[in-house]
Structure 1
Amino acid sequence: MIVDVLLDALLDTVKLIPFLFLTYFLMEYLEHKTKEKSKSMIKKAGKFGPFMGGVLGAFPQCGFSAAASGFYAGGVISLGTLLAIFLSTSDEMLPIFISEAVSLSVIFKVLAMKVGIGIVSGFSIDFLWRKYEKSPHNHKEHHEKDIHDLCESEHCHCEQGSILKSALWHTLQIVLFIFLVSAAIGFCVESIGADRIGGLISRQPVIGVFLAALIGMIPNCAASVIITQMYLGGILGVGQMIAGLLAGAGVGILVLFKSNRDMKENLQIAALLYGVSVFWGIFIELTGIVL
């Protein structure tokens, strides 16, 4: 069984390499061309920050959620804008969907759902925050910080090297992780049984939402890889997948804790991200939305 699971995981992963490389190459190219423009748009968005954040967050630009954390810590963007970016960030979901030949309609629906949820939640949070906080940030003084984004966190030196080198590095990292995740899922499915796993989740969809969102809170690409692979494997439902992907803000949470000195506030933001993700996941499960 062990050999069969490892071989299956290896074959499934190898088939993804050319698609992943092409996807990351295009992503790196777009990021080098548009990153500064995206940051500038977020800074100038003002009250429309949640809308701009939700839309721009859907593009899996390297470290965009990390940059957003730095902007928030520096008082440049609102809490709602920060959460809109966190919620809409797709991280590794998009490359995996593309490499697995998931239909464009499904990809579009997932992205549109995440963007819509990010925008609605962002505006709602800003509205409630303004009512709760009558004075901006409780008169706390904020300073702009120099943020090290996802690329530096993963030691890929994206900004220093070529686009080709960056794409290769990201591809190797994600291929290795996909193999490990696929093998782990394969062992679980073979040991427990796909029918039993599927039956457990289908009988307790709400609990599955809480667990998926908890996995999504893992502060790196692992979260979106695990969630996406489990959905494609039929283990997670739509609401559970969305909850996990909404909570998956990449390294944004880590950068927030590094750059924002108010640890209590950081914990509240993390809890808010988790709570909002769970809320929407349960809403999707109860309403029976399908892709």
Structure 2
Amino acid sequence: MDFLDVILDTLKDAAKMLPFLLGAYLLIEYFEHRSTVKLHAVLDRFGPLGGAVLGVIPQCGFSAATANLYSRGLVTVGTLLAVFISTSDEALPVMLAHPDRMKDTLFLLAVKTVLALIVGFVVDLLLHRPVVVRKLGEEQSPEGHDCQQHGAGCSCHRGHQHSIWRSAISHTLQIFVFILLFMLAFNLLISLVGTAFIEKLLLQNSLWQPVLAAVIGFIPNCAASVLLTELYLAGSITFGSVIAGLTTGAGVGLVMLFRYNKDLRQNGKIVLTLFAVGSLSGILLQLMVG
């Protein structure tokens, strides 16, 4: 197969995803704009449970806002970890663009939610943390959407600055470009070096693959979640590996944690916990389901 055939086939495959990707972002934008639930009120009342459920929603504002709330003592470290672990950045809309993989999508969300719940409650139990340390009224309102553009084409947008359609189309095009470039590069690489080299590069059939994926997940850019998701959908990494990478991939949340919370030792422990949870759960899942 020559380069022109690879390019044409890639364009055809990517184009098929576009309407599903747009539909996914329209749904996400609708719920984001219509939501009237205050983040702190939910986290205050439900703790890690609320964090695990809200974190599933593919919106970077939740992880950023929770990092801010944590730095001010308004939520526990368990709640913060629950949000970070359940957050998958751009993985959900990318998977929704593949309607034939809906079972995989639901399974991934279920595993991440359960993992977030377990880790969140266990950490708070071990640290003997109360539900919250302070009440919101004791400080100024949280800077919930103080999240800047954090990577080529990825940004957190405020609720009512743009219409749902404009935001959805913009986000769809941004992620579509990432997916198209990845698919093109991946297919060209396979045609040049073969699948055996790719498998070796990605530590295929190795228990170290989830660890590698967990490291990739820390990249503070939506390209990391797109890369991990597309590799999983292509069969190049295991389910355990994509869980590992998306567990450490808290989107802009980690960036905001280091911005808001000046206790670097505390931040380091959170990062190490995410890495340990991502790597170990990924290895365990790889042994169980692949």
TM class by shorter chain equals: 0.7 to 0.9
Residues 102 and 122 from structure 1, CA distance in 2 versus in 1: closer, same or farther, beyond 3 angstroms? farther
CA contact (8 A) 2:71 2:260 kept: yes
Question: By how many angstroms is 1:63 displaced?
Answer: 1.6
Question: 1:118 maps to which residue?
Answer: 116
Relative to structure 2, which stretch is displaced further, 195-204 or 220-229?
195-204
- Segments of 5+ residues of structure 1 without an aligned counterpart are none
CA contact (8 A) 2:213 2:241 kept: yes
Report whether the alignment pairs 1:289 with 2:286. no
Question: By how many angstroms is 1:106 displaced?
Answer: 2.0
Structure 2 residue identity aligned to 1:95:
P
CA distance in 1, matches of 2:41, 2:57: 15
CA contact (8 A) 1:158 1:166 kept: no
CA distance in 1, matches of 2:202, 2:221: 25
CA distance in 2, matches of 1:203, 1:167: 35
CA contact (8 A) 2:56 2:86 kept: yes
Question: 1:77 maps to which residue?
Answer: 75
Question: By how many angstroms is 1:100 displaced?
Answer: 1.6
Residues 266 and 186 from structure 1, CA distance in 2 versus in 1: closer, same or farther, beyond 3 angstroms? same
Residues 235 and 152 from structure 1, CA distance in 2 versus in 1: closer, same or farther, beyond 3 angstroms? closer
Structure 1 residue identity aligned to 2:229:
T
Question: 1:223 maps to which residue?
Answer: 224
Q: 2:89 aligns with which of 81, 88, 91?
A: 91
CA distance in 1, matches of 2:148, 2:100: 27
Q: What do residues 190-235 of structure 1 show as CA deviations (whole Å, max 9, x unaligned)?
A: 3332134336657652211111111111112112100100011110
Question: By how many angstroms is 1:152 displaced?
Answer: 5.7
Question: 1:108 maps to which residue?
Answer: 106
CA-atom RMSD, angstroms? 2.7
Question: By how many angstroms is 1:173 displaced?
Answer: 0.7
1:232-251 residue pairs with structure 2 within 5 A? 232-251=233-252
Residues 155 and 195 from structure 1, CA distance in 2 versus in 1: closer, same or farther, beyond 3 angstroms? closer
Relative to structure 2, which stretch is displaced further, 267-276 or 186-195?
186-195
Question: By how many angstroms is 1:61 displaced?
Answer: 2.8
Question: 1:194 maps to which residue?
Answer: 195
How many residues are aligned here?
A: 280
Structure 1 residue identity aligned to 2:289:
I
Question: 1:146 maps to which residue?
Answer: 143
Question: 1:178 maps to which residue?
Answer: 179
CA distance in 2, matches of 1:237, 1:96: 17
Q: What do residues 134-158 of structure 1 show as CA deviations (whole Å, max 9, x unaligned)?
A: xx79xxxx98652444576545644
Q: 1:57 aligns with which of 31, 55, 58?
A: 55
Structure 2 residue identity aligned to 1:21:
L
Question: By how many angstroms is 1:245 displaced?
Answer: 1.3
Structure 1 residue identity aligned to 2:21:
L
CA distance in 2, matches of 1:267, 1:184: 34
Question: 1:5 maps to which residue?
Answer: 6
Structure 1 residue identity aligned to 2:82:
A
CA contact (8 A) 1:218 1:248 kept: yes
Q: What do residues 65-114 of structure 1 show as CA deviations (whole Å, max 9, x unaligned)?
A: 11111111111111111111111112222211121223332221111000
Structure 2 residue identity aligned to 1:146:
E
CA distance in 2, matches of 1:246, 1:155: 20
CA distance in 1, matches of 2:185, 2:123: 37
- Normalised to the residue count of structure 1, the TM-score between the two structures is 0.86
Question: By how many angstroms is 1:33 displaced?
Answer: 1.4
CA distance in 1, matches of 2:256, 2:62: 11
Question: 2:28 maps to which residue?
Answer: 27
Relative to structure 2, which stretch is displaced further, 76-85 or 29-38?
29-38
Q: What do residues 158-196 of structure 1 show as CA deviations (whole Å, max 9, x unaligned)?
A: 431111111111011101111122122223323332134
Question: 2:273 maps to which residue?
Answer: 272
CA contact (8 A) 1:147 1:255 kept: no
Q: 1:128 aligns with which of 117, 126, 129?
A: 126
CA contact (8 A) 2:90 2:226 kept: yes
Residues 157 and 115 from structure 1, CA distance in 2 versus in 1: closer, same or farther, beyond 3 angstroms? closer
